[in-house]
Amino acid sequence: MALLEIASVVEQIESEIEVDTTGRGKASIRATGRLAGVSDMALRKAFNSANHSPSELAKKLIQQGFECANLTDWCSRGIPDIARSDNP
């Protein structure tokens, strides 16, 4: 891999994954989709459907204690590195 390609990958990671001062990280929905091997649109649809007709993914997250509002928030705020139902 050329040095320019590596620099580009590092830049993408820096723009899509952030870590706060407490060490908690979060990834953009786009980055999470890439890591999971699905499109970011598929994740958005799964999270946004939680209020109306939950997808299988949303149902599993809701069963674990997540609220629909948390799931739809992830589309804009990013997905936390450690998903907890009390994660702001």
pLDDT in tens, 5-18: 877 877 877 788 88
DSSP secondary structure code for residue 50 in this structure = G
CA within 13 Å, CB half, 69: 3
Joined tokens for residue 10? 């590092």
**Type of residue numbered 5:** E
Give the pLDDT of residue 20. Answer: 86
pTM over 0.85: no
Percent of the chain with pLDDT over 70: 90
Six-digit token string for 41: 């649109």
pLDDT of residue 41: 92
- Find the mean pLDDT for residues 29-34: 86
Give the helix/strand (H/E) hosting 80. strand 79-80
